[in-house]
Amino acid sequence: MTSASEPRSKGLLWSVLLLVLAGAGALWGASGLPWASQRFSTPMGTETTSSATGAVLRPELGPMALAALAAVAAVLATGGLLRRLVGLLIALAGALLAWRVYQHVSGAAVTFGGDVPAGSTPIGELSSSPFGPVLMALGAVLLVVAGLLVVVRAGRMPAMGARYSAPGTAKERVSQDPDRRLWNELDAGRDPTDEDDR
């Protein structure tokens, strides 16, 4: 918990938002990269090569990237305990993704898309690329760091100000200010001291 006198830091808030955005970008990039490729001999006697992208091997990558983008808005729109809860969810999502990377690296089965004809047999060894898993791991780490920052330092991050509130709320706040009301009366060409004009 932060003390009331501790200054709020816009820089910290923007750093967290950039970390989450970078994490979302890394996950999105990982979903489109080929993670593995394999040559196959088809029943027709020909050979074909199939690649498995991150979206095929880890279908959660795309939805997690979109969820991270939604988390940016959630961090901006919330404050206090609710913001800490959002941070906890971000960190848990990153930890889950890190676990999925570990599962892949430790020898999870690779499945290929529908471009391989039925009855085809693999030829040679499976070729794998490290770039997709590395991007996924990077995205996971960024989300964990961002989430933990929100959980621990949420009190130092500014909440959305009055300028982001609904227009009706802002007008009501302005109309209750007596000095502002006097200037509005003068701008409208009325005498602010004349009760009949009002």
The predicted-structure confidence for 46-81, as pLDDT tens digits, reads as follows 777 777 888 888 899 999 999 999 999 999 988 889
Smallest Cα–Cα separation from 97: which of 126, 56, 68?
Answer: 68
Counts for the chain of helices (H) and strands (E), in that order: 7, 3
**What are 4-57's pLDDT values in tens digits?**
445 677 888 899 999 999 999 999 999 999 888 877 777 777 777 777 888 888
CA separation, residue 191 to residues 171, 180, 186, 188 (Å): 21, 14, 6, 9
As a whole number of angstroms, the distance between CA 36 and CA 55 comes to: 12
**% the chain with pLDDT above 70:** 72
Which domains, from first to last, does the chain contain? 10-160 (1.20.140), 162-198 (no CATH)
Asked if 117 contacts 48 with a C-beta cutoff of 8 angstroms, the reply is yes
**What are 159-178's pLDDT values in tens digits?**
765 344 445 544 545 455 66
**Burial profile 98-136: b = 16 or more Cβ within 10 angstroms, e = fewer:** bebbeebeeeeeeebeeebeeebeeeeeeebeeebbebb
